[in-house]
């Protein structure tokens, strides 16, 4: 929807022997930025939101959580490509991405404060919907930094750094959520403060290129609405990448969306489950770092992405089978290690692979926003599917379904032809 040279073309040529100073700053500052964003994602939906729901409706907590997260994720699914489109078309002296990253973060801080004051399920639904919308107005332009500013030869390495910082944020968020459980508004205010500091540092150290001279094509609503449909005929590789991510993330959220309740009711830890969540998160981070540390750079070196993504999906599927057979704390620890190894490999390479199947250079954020539907739509499907599974067959049935979806994600990678 825009006509301008891609930023990566002027940042650092793929053949350059060493990264430019701006590239080194970008690699360094994406760590606190991503960590601060995913600190919120680890703390709120993983700990603080389920505890709020449990405090409001202990007997119906599973169904209530499914309703809240499902509606919120549907809002995020719509917001993600809209945020990407607006970011792609933004003309300002601060660039295309910076206004949305900064403004979205401020709106997110305010909406989290409102969420901390919610006292009923309807209030939580409204607050969580707003949080999900403004969160995507931060995530979509941040996601576009990879194709915008990073040359193809270094995208695997950048995805590795971004993936590790993402998981660091999630694990730290789980620990913070457990430590701040019961603190209400104070917990949300603390998370917001960390985000605002990280965003301020990023936009000052890594300024975007001014986009005041950018020429945008006339907006066509029909064309934009068609972007929600990924055509297997016109863009087959983009379609298969979308489908693979959709399947894998649906399997992931079927389980992780109920992790706290699984520990409470399936493993039998009751109220002690809150203390185990950050411990499992730390174990997951260690496992993730092991595979992330070499997967992204190695995929850059050998010029292959697909084997890593396929292998990671299969490993994650194997991990999901463990708690089904061993419904204990030990089983959950083994699951966490195995799934962490798989997800580490996946997060290090998937972003680089997806950036290479995008339909056009002039609409990176919008197209990535569409791809992000494959990550946000499962947050709608997962809780509703998970809630139905728990209601009909109990918690054990969650794991075989998640395994099958992970394997389906691996199989969907195979038909991609433009990436090895």
Q: Give the bridge partners for 216, in sequence order.
A: 2
What token pair was written down for 236? 């087959």
Burial of 25 (0-12, 13-18, 19+ CB in 10 A): middle
Would you say 159 and 21 are in contact if contact means Cβ atoms under 8 Å apart? Answer: no
d(CA 6, CA 148): 6
pLDDT at 8: 36
| Sequence-distant (≥ 6) Cβ neighbours of residue 229 within 8 angstroms | none
Taking only the tens place, the pLDDT of each residue in 373-410 is 676 667 666 766 777 788 788 889 999 998 998 888 88
* Cα→Cα distances 355→150, 159, 180, 192, 270, Å: 10, 10, 37, 30, 43
E strand or H helix at 251: helix 236-256
Domains of the chain: 20-211+230-413 (1.20.1250.20)
Q: Are strands 215-216 and 2-3 parallel, antiparallel or unpaired?
A: antiparallel
Q: Name the DSSP class of 269.
A: -
Nearest to 350 by CA among 295, 403, 390: 295
Residues 6+ apart with CB under 8 A from 338: 287, 315, 316, 318, 319, 322
Helix axes 155-179, 329-355, angle to 10 degrees: 140
User: What pLDDT digit, counting tens, does each position of 181-211 carry?
Assistant: 777 788 899 999 999 999 999 999 988 888 7
Unique residue bearing structure tokens 């199989």? 411
Q: pTM here?
A: 0.70
The Cβ of residue 294 has, within 10 Å, a number of other Cβ atoms equal to: 15
* CB-neighbour burial class of residue 6 (10 A; exposed 0-12, middle 13-18, buried 19+): middle
The one-digit pLDDT tens for each residue of the chain (420 residues) are 333 333 333 334 444 456 788 888 888 899 999 999 989 988 888 788 888 988 888 888 878 887 888 788 788 878 877 887 788 888 888 888 889 999 999 999 999 999 988 889 999 999 999 999 999 899 888 888 887 788 877 877 787 788 778 878 888 888 888 888 777 788 899 999 999 999 999 999 988 888 787 767 777 676 666 656 666 777 687 788 788 888 888 887 788 777 888 998 899 898 888 888 888 888 887 887 888 777 777 887 877 778 888 888 888 889 989 999 999 999 999 999 998 888 888 777 776 776 676 665 545 555 665 666 676 667 666 766 777 788 788 889 999 998 998 888 888 888 887 666
pLDDT in tens, 322-380: 999 999 999 999 999 998 888 888 777 776 776 676 665 545 555 665 666 676 667 66
């Amino acid at each position: 929807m825009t006509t301008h040279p891609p930023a990566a073309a002027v940042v650092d040529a793929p053949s350059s022997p060493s990264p430019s100073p701006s590239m080194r700053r970008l690699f360094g500052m994406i760590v606190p930025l991503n960590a601060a964003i995913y600190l919120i994602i680890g703390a709120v939906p993983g700990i603080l939101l389920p505890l709020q729901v449990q405090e409001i409706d202990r007997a119906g907590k599973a169904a209530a959580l499914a309703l809240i997260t499902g509606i919120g994720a549907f809002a995020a699914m719509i917001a993600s490509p809209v945020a990407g489109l607006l970011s792609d078309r933004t003309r300002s002296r601060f660039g295309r991405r910076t206004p949305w990253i900064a403004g979205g973060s401020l709106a997110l801080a305010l909406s989290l404060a409102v969420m901390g004051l919610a006292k009923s399920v309807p209030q939580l639904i409204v607050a969580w919907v707003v949080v999900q919308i403004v969160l995507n107005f931060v995530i979509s332009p941040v996601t576009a930094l990879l194709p915008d500013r990073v040359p193809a030869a270094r995208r695997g390495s950048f995805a590795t750094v971004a993936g590790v910082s993402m998981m660091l944020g999630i694990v730290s968020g789980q620990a913070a959520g457990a430590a701040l459980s019961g603190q209400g508004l104070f917990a949300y205010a603390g998370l917001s403060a960390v985000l605002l500091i990280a965003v301020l540092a990023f936009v000052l150290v890594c300024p975007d290129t001014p986009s005041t001279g950018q020429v945008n094509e006339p907006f066509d609503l029909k064309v934009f609405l068609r972007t929600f449909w990924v055509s297997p005929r016109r863009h087959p590789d983009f379609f298969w990448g979308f489908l693979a991510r959709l399947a894998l993330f649906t399997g992931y959220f079927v389980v992780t969306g109920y992790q706290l309740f699984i520990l409470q009711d399936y493993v039998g830890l009751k109220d002690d489950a809150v203390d185990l969540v950050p411990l499992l998160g730390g174990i997951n981070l260690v496992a993730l770092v092991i595979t992330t540390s070499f997967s992204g750079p190695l995929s850059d070196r050998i010029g292959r992405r697909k084997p890593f993504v396929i292998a990671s999906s299969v490993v994650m599927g194997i991990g999901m089978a463990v708690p089904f057979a061993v419904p204990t704390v030990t089983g959950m620890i083994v699951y966490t290690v195995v799934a962490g190894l798989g997800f580490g490999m996946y997060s290090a390479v998937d972003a680089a692979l997806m950036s290479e199947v995008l339909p056009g250079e002039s609409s990176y954020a919008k197209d990535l926003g569409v791809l992000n539907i494959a990550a946000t739509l499962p947050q709608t499907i997962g809780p509703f599917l998970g809630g139905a599974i728990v209601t009909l067959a109990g918690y054990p049935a969650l794991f075989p379904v998640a395994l099958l979806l992970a394997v389906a994600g691996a199989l969907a990678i195979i038909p991609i032809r433009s990436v090895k």
